[in-house]
Structure 1
Amino acid sequence: MKQIISTDDAPAAIGAYSQATTDGSLILTSGQLPLTREGELLDDASIEDQTKQCLDNIQAILQAEGASMSSVLKTTVFLDNINTFEEFNQSYSDYFDENPPARSAIEVGEVPKGAALEIEAIAVAEQ
């Protein structure tokens, strides 16, 4: 049965979606923008700092469900400029230095709110 995951430690949803959902075995996060939990968009920050904020948001959502970044099976990354991939990847690898999850990283025409990237994750719910 689907359950909604919500935490004040990550930015609130800005549309008709939940921060994440779970069926008790998997956690699926919505795409996380580089928004602080107060809702400030870090669109003028470096790609490294925007990546860090997106992943901090995912980490907070997972922790609300008792999971961690080591539980992540797959991420999908939407970049507004594939030429920033190397810088993004340096920041990303700080969160997944051992046994990283599967990942797709693609360039898209635009990311919501003018951000440089958006990241979503699928994780195993801690049993």
Structure 2
Amino acid sequence: MKKIINSSKAPSPIGPYNHAVQVGDLLFISGQIPFDQATETLIDSGIADETKQVMENLKAILSEVGMTFENAVKATIFIRDMEQFSIINEVYGSYFKQETAPARECVQVSKLPRNVNVEISMIASK
């Protein structure tokens, strides 16, 4: 049975989806963009700040069901410019321990919602 998960600390979905869906021990988190729910602003002050906000949004959704980044098993990073990969990777990596970091891929795309530069989705497991 699936359980719908939404967090008041993450940006409201901008389409017909929820923040996450939990099925058993698995949590499937929708792609998060650098929108700060607290200030209701899109963060566009540089790729490091944008990536940090995305990770904080993911963290808020994970915590909604009592999980942390330690529970992450898979992540997908979508970026508009592969030249920014090293900065994104540095910020992203600061949220994980090397020995428990999830599997992941990073894909360059031509456009993302609200014209942001980075979006990350995640799967976690209890």
| SS in structure 1 at match of 2:111 | coil
* Letter aligned with residue 112 of structure 1: P
Partner of residue 23, structure 1: 23
Q: Which range moves more in the overlay, 71-80 or 94-103?
A: 94-103
How far apart, in 1, do the equivalents of 2:77 and 2:45 lie?
17
Q: Which runs of 5+ in 2 are unaligned?
A: none
Percent of residue pairs bearing the same amino acid type: 36
* Letter aligned with residue 31 of structure 1: G
Q: Which runs of 5+ in 1 are unaligned?
A: none
Partner of residue 55, structure 1: 55
Within-5 A mapping of 1:108-123: 108-123=109-124
Partner of residue 69, structure 2: 69
| SS in structure 2 at match of 1:30 | strand
Quote how far apart the aligned CAs of 1:110 are.
0.6
How far apart, in 2, do the equivalents of 1:57 and 1:48 lie?
14
How far apart, in 2, do the equivalents of 1:12 and 1:40 lie?
12
C-alpha root-mean-square deviation of aligned residues, in Å?
1.0
How far apart, in 1, do the equivalents of 2:60 and 2:24 lie?
18
Partner of residue 14, structure 1: 14
Within-5 A mapping of 1:69-108: 69-98=69-98, 99-108=100-109
Deviations 1:49-73 (A, max 9, x none): 1111001001100100111110000
Q: Which range moves more in the overlay, 90-99 or 10-19?
A: 90-99
Q: How many residues align?
A: 124
Deviations 1:71-125 (A, max 9, x none): 000100000001100111111111013321111001001111011110000000x
